[in-house]
Amino acid sequence: MTEPSKKEQLYQLIHANPFISQQDLAADLGLSRSAVAGHIASLIRERRLLGRAYVLPAPRGQRPVVCIGAANVDRKLRTIATLQAGTSNPATASETYGGVARNIAENLARLHTPVALLTALGDDGAGRALQDHAQAAGIDTRGSLALADTASGTYTAILDAEGELHVALADMALYDQLTPEFLASRAPQRAAAALTVADLNLPLETVAALIDSARADHAPLVIVAVSQPKMARLPHDLHGVRLLILNRAELETVAGRPLPTEADVRLACAGVQQRGARDVIVTCGSQGVFHTCDGQLVWLAAHQVKVVDVTGAGDAFSAAVCWSLVQDNDDSADLTLACRRGLALAAVTVQSASTVAPALDAGLLEAISNTDAAHDPGHSAPLYTTN
């Protein structure tokens, strides 16, 4: 068997690592930098590469979902008895991998969806562990930002004996390094995406740049909220956003007022759409979800299951919605069906002690049909109190 040509060897090295430098290619192949540049130019002319960072074209069904945002080490402390404020509580402790964008990416990978994660990682043991775990799960992290002399992000959740979240503390300053300039350096990889999902751990300017890019390229963009304080990172102009996913408290922050009734939620969602977002999903925990649909608001009840741990349920919901948008072709996707799938995946997740349920299967979502997704007019959305 003849040895592959230098150009073919170069192509294989790029295929293994799209962000490899020309200097490393030259050293690995024993070529000059000018020879490497010549082979790359030839591959681009042949459309075997799409330009810097040498992103390889993929068939439509194999285009990845690109998730941009946080990848943390999650620490969970859960009380053994009823949680009491202002005193020491006996508790159990566990540590796992988290971050909204990372959790969504892992859910998608476990649903056998090609997925890439653009995040910031420190040069500590946690950063190396996060990268190793992502690779083992099937998440492409090669475009992520590696930061020297920096600790990786952490999220600490305090749960009561029933697994409900009471307070969470997040150290995520390193994600401020995910700047618009960083996004520009990853433009070819983002251009190859079937769908882009961004969480609001990103700086305001970066979120705005993503929205501008989505609007200019007519590319679907989903924004997922992470907390009430970080709603300040949502730009006012949302033209270009395919879908905004947030919970009721976060929507109240956007609206600047309490939303005690369905009519209030409807008006607040309409306000978000007037700012440019095509659709809005409002999650309400164990009570279900609202979503916009042709100028109306649809409510769907949550599955009533035994809760082990709520951590990651919202991210599982978002992942299933994104999976549905990709599978069903975004332009024709049924958002009610997508939310039904999201509720099903969230129910699996809250019954697991893991942030991402290990036993996910795309068949669970595929089994939910348009008929199942039809809204039952016999169910009414609950009225909420102001507290």
Q: What is the pLDDT of residues 41-84, one digit of tens each?
A: 888 888 788 665 555 556 666 799 999 999 999 888 999 999 99
Q: What is the pLDDT of residues 184-196, one digit of tens each?
A: 988 888 988 999 9
The Cα 297–Cα 292 span in angstroms is 5
Closest of 151, 57, 145, 63 to residue 101, by C-alpha = 145
Q: Please, where are the H alpha helices in 17-124? A: 22-29, 33-45, 100-110
| Full-model pTM | 0.80
CB atoms within 10 A of CB 120: 25
| CA dist 316 → 107, 197, 212, 265, 352 (Å) | 6, 13, 27, 23, 12
- What is the distance, to the nearest Å, from the Cα of residue 221 to the centroid of all Cα atoms in its chain? 11
pLDDT for 377: 42
- What is the distance, to the nearest Å, from the Cα of residue 123 to the centroid of all Cα atoms in its chain? 23
pLDDT for 375: 45
H or E segment at 97?
strand 91-98
The Cα 205–Cα 325 span in angstroms is 26
The Cα 185–Cα 201 span in angstroms is 19
The Cα 204–Cα 202 span in angstroms is 7
pLDDT for 385: 46
Residues of the chain whose pLDDT is less than 50? 1, 374-379, 385-387
pLDDT for 257: 97
pLDDT for 59: 61
SS3 state at 141: coil
pLDDT for 331: 67
What do you get for the CA distance between the two ends of the chain, in Å? 73
H or E segment at 291?
strand 289-293
- Reading phi first (left if > 0) and then psi (alpha if -120 to 50, else beta), residue 251 is in alpha
pLDDT for 384: 52
pLDDT for 13: 87
pLDDT for 61: 63
Measured in degrees and rounded to the nearest 5, phi and psi for residue 245 equal -115, 125
Closest of 346, 376, 351, 381 to residue 364, by C-alpha = 346
Sign of the dihedral defined by the CA atoms of residues 338, 339, 344, 347, in that order: positive
Q: What percent of the chain has pLDDT over 70?
A: 90
pLDDT for 347: 94
Q: Give the number of C-alpha atoms closer than 13 A to the C-alpha of residue 153, restricted to the C-beta side.
A: 28
